[in-house]
Amino acid sequence: MPKEQKEKGARMKFLAYAHETFEDSFVRELIKLINIKDACVNTSCVEFEINEHIKDKISELILYSRTMRRVMILLDKTEFKEFEDLKKHYENYFYKRDLNEEFNKIFDDCEFKLADNKIKTFCSRTQKHNNSDFNSMDLDAKIGEYIIENNKELKVNLENPDLTIFNLIIDNTVYFGIDLIGKDLSKRDYKVFTLPFSMKNSLVYAIMLKYIDDDFLKEINKKLVVNYGMSDGAFLIELAQYISKISPLKHSYREITLNKYMNLEKEFDAEKEPIYKIFGLDNNFNTTNFVKKNLALSDVKNIVQLSRLDLTWLDTKYEKKTIDLFFTFFISRSIVSSKEIEKYYNDLFYQLEFVLKGRAIILTSKPNIFMDIIKSEKYKLEFYEQHNFLVGNNSYSVIVLDAIKAENKKINYNKSLRLK
3-state secondary structure of 180: coil
pLDDT at 277: 86
Span 133-187, pLDDT tens digits: 889 999 999 999 999 999 999 999 999 999 999 999 999 999 999 999 999 999 8
- In tens, the pLDDT along 265-287 reads 888 877 767 778 899 999 999 89
Taking residues 243-258, report their average pLDDT.
93
Helix axes 83-94, 136-150, angle to 10 degrees: 20
Reduced to 3 states (helix: H, G, I; strand: E, B; else coil), residue 417 is coil
Q: Where are the domains of the chain?
A: 12-179, 201-408
334 or 286: which leads in pLDDT: 286
- The predicted structure's pLDDT at residue 409: 46
Does the domain at 12-179 match CATH 3.30.2130.30? Answer given as yes
Exposure letters 78-91 (e unless 16+ CB within 10 A, then b): bebeeeeebbebbe
| pLDDT for residue 4 is more than 90 | no
- Coil, helix or strand for 67? coil
Other beta carbons within 10 angstroms of residue 345's beta carbon come to 23
Residue 405 is predicted with a pLDDT of 57
pLDDT of residue 114: 84
The pLDDT-based confidence of 191 (bands split at 50, 70, 90) is: confident
Q: What is the mean pLDDT of residues 89-116?
A: 92
Q: How high is the mean pLDDT of the chain?
A: 89
**pLDDT at res. 335:** 67
Share of the chain residues as helix, strand and coil, in percent rounded to the nearest 5: 35, 25, 40
Domain covering 201-408 assigned CATH 3.40.50.150 in the classification: yes
Give the H/E segment covering residue 291.
helix 285-297
CA distance 145 to 140: 9
Tell me the CA distances in angstroms from 241 to 171, 249, 303, 346, one per residue in order: 34, 11, 9, 33
Instruction: Tell me if domain 12-179 and domain 201-408 are identical in fold.
Output: no
**Residue 3 pLDDT:** 42
Q: Is 328 helix (H, G, I), strand (E, B) or coil?
A: strand
Confidence of residue 412 (pLDDT cuts 50, 70, 90): very low
Q: With a cut of 90, say whether residue 318 has pLDDT above it.
A: yes
Query: How does 299-317 read in b/e, with b if 16+ C-beta sit within 10 Å?
Result: bbbebbebeebebeebeee
